[in-house]
Amino acid sequence: MARRKLSLPMLLEGYELYCRTGGLSPRTTEWYLQKLRYFVQYLKDEGFPLSPSQLRPEHIRESPMRLVRTPRDPQKVMPTFTPDQLKALLRTTDATRTPSRDKAIVLLETGIPRWLCCNWDVCPVSVGLA
C-alpha cells in the first residue's frame, strides 16, 4: 500500500474528527479549527511548506512573533466623585423603601469594587460617607 504524505490540511481533518469524537462542544471545536486554519493560511502566505516532513530547522529557527509589536492599552483616567458629590448622591436613597440596598447599588455603580462593597461588616454609609 502506498503511503500518503501528510499535510497540515489533512492533519486538520484528523484533528477535527478527534475533537468531535472527544467530547468537545461544537463551538469549542470550531473555535480551535478556525484558529488553526488561520495559522495554515499564514504558513501558505509566507511560503512555508505544509508538509511536516518538509520542515527544516531553518524554517523554525526564528520566531515570526519577533516582528509583532506588543499593543499598548491607552491609560484612561476615570473622573471620580468628590466626597460632597458622593454624600449628595447617597442622600437621595434615604427616601426610598430600601435605603441600605439602594446605597449599595449606588456605591457599586460609582465603580467601587464589588468584593469591597460586599465584604464590609458595617455599611460604609454609617462611617461618615452620608
Confirm if 19 and 33 have CB atoms less than 8 A apart.
yes
State the pLDDT confidence band at 121, using cuts at 50, 70 and 90: low
> Which three three-digit cell numbers place residue 64?
515570526
What residue numbers bound the domain in which 105 lies? 83-127
Give the rounded distance of the alpha carbon of 92 from its chain centre: 37
Confirm if 61 and 70 have CB atoms less than 8 A apart.
no
Determine, yes or no, domain membership for 102: yes
How many domains does the structure of the chain reveal?
A: 2
Determine, yes or no, domain membership for 72: no
Determine, yes or no, domain membership for 98: yes
**Is there a single domain that holds both residue 12 and residue 53?**
yes
Matching residue, cell 491607552: 74
**Is there a single domain that holds both residue 55 and residue 101?**
no
**Is there a single domain that holds both residue 119 and residue 87?**
yes
> Which three three-digit cell numbers place residue 125?
454609609
> Which three three-digit cell numbers place residue 26?
461544537
**Is there a single domain that holds both residue 56 and residue 87?**
no
Determine, yes or no, domain membership for 38: yes
Q: Which of 18-22, 52-56, 64-68, 105-109 has the highest mean pLDDT?
A: 18-22
pTM: 0.42
